[in-house]
Amino acid sequence: MSPLVDADISADTDLLGKTVSDLQEDIVISNGVISGTLHYVTGYTGFDASHPELQEGHFLALHAEAEDATSISVRPLGSAADPVPLDADGLYILHIVNATGIEYYTVIDGVTYLNVYKFDGLVMEPKEDD
Q: Does 26 bind another protein (CB under 8 A)?
A: no
> Shortest CA distance to 91 belongs to which of 1, 14, 25, 35?
14
Q: How far is the CB of 99 from another protein (least distance, A)?
A: 5
> 60 with 96: CB under 8 angstroms?
yes
How many whole angstroms separate alpha carbon 74 and alpha carbon 41? 24
- The neighbouring-strand residues paired with 30 are 33
Q: How many residues sit in the footprint of another protein (CB under 8 A)?
A: 33
Binding region for another protein (CB under 8 A) out of 19-27, 28-36, 89-97, 120-128:
89-97
Smaller CB distance to another protein: residue 1 or 49?
Answer: 49
> 11 with 121: CB under 8 angstroms?
no
Position among 18, 23, 47, 66 found at the interface with another protein (CB under 8 A): 47
Q: Does 86 bind another protein (CB under 8 A)?
A: yes
**Type of residue found at 61:** A
> 44 with 52: CB under 8 angstroms?
no
Q: How far is the CB of 2 from another protein (least distance, A)?
A: 18
Contacts with another protein by CB under 8 A lie at: 15-16, 47-51, 54, 74-78, 81-82, 84, 86-87, 89, 91-104
